[in-house]
Amino acid sequence: MQRLWTPWRMEYIKQNVEEGNCIFCAKISAEDDRKEHMLWRGERAYITLNLYPYNNGHLLVVPYEHVPSLEDLPPETVLEIGKLIAFSIRLLREAMNPDGFNIGVNLGKIAGAGVVEHVHVHVVPRWNGDTNFMTVIAGTRVIPEWIDETYDHLKEILETHPELRPR
């Protein structure tokens, strides 16, 4: 059996299991957006980088309301989530030039939700050939850029391209 060591995850695991904290609710009141990888704060939802991404630029659109499913949200929040998804696509196209996107919601543990109690939408940029032998043979994703570098790059694009912002 091969091991992939990720000791930086232990703080996250312990904090959320021991304290019963919701990682998405904790981000709302955080004061350091860079530390939390918060890219955009809307009126009813926000955009953050996924700490354990499928690919570089893997974003999450998260409502402020702590509910398990989209149907539990008021229509205004669902509308804003839709706008933030479109905004995320524009931002990632400009910043990373992906060939396509996977966009989805995992509702419930059986559907693959890592955080079952707080609904969120994944926006994952995809490139031709981004599934390589490591993923296929070793079941391991290779992420070529540190999350802080991805955050800084996306924030720079936001600052220099206001036309990309939510409409």
Is residue 134 pLDDT above 50, yes or no?
A: no
Cβ-contact 141, 54 below 8 angstroms: yes
Over residues 116-142, the mean pLDDT reads: 72
The residue that leads in pLDDT, 13 or 124, is: 124
Percent over 90 (pLDDT), the chain: 60
Is residue 111 pLDDT above 70, yes or no?
A: yes
Is residue 97 pLDDT above 80, yes or no?
A: yes
Q: Say if residue 67 is exposed, middle or buried (CB neighbours under 10 Å; 0-12, 13-18, 19+).
A: middle
Over residues 90-112, the mean pLDDT reads: 93
pLDDT band at residue 5 using 50, 70 and 90 as cut-offs? low
Domains detected in the chain? 9-16+23-164 (3.30.428.10)
Angle at 38 between CA 144 and CA 4, to 5 degrees: 35
pLDDT tens for 21-56 read 899 999 999 999 999 999 999 999 999 999 888 888
Is residue 60 pLDDT above 90, yes or no?
A: yes
Over residues 78-83, the mean pLDDT reads: 97
Mean pLDDT over all residues of the chain? 84
Percent over 70 (pLDDT), the chain: 78
Q: Whose structure tokens read 């702590």?
A: 66
As given in the structure block, the two tokens for residue 66 are 């702590």
In 3D space, the residue among 58, 53, 57 whose CA is nearest the CA of residue 142 turns out to be 53
Cβ-contact 151, 50 below 8 angstroms: no
Is residue 166 pLDDT above 60, yes or no?
A: yes
Q: What is the pLDDT of residue 163?
A: 87
Residues labelled as active-site residues: 120
* DSSP, res 164: G
- C-alpha to C-alpha distance for 137 and 89, rounded to whole angstroms: 30
Helices (H), the chain: 9-18, 23-29, 33-36, 75-96, 133-138, 147-160
- C-alpha to C-alpha distance for 78 and 65, rounded to whole angstroms: 11
Is residue 16 pLDDT above 80, yes or no?
A: no
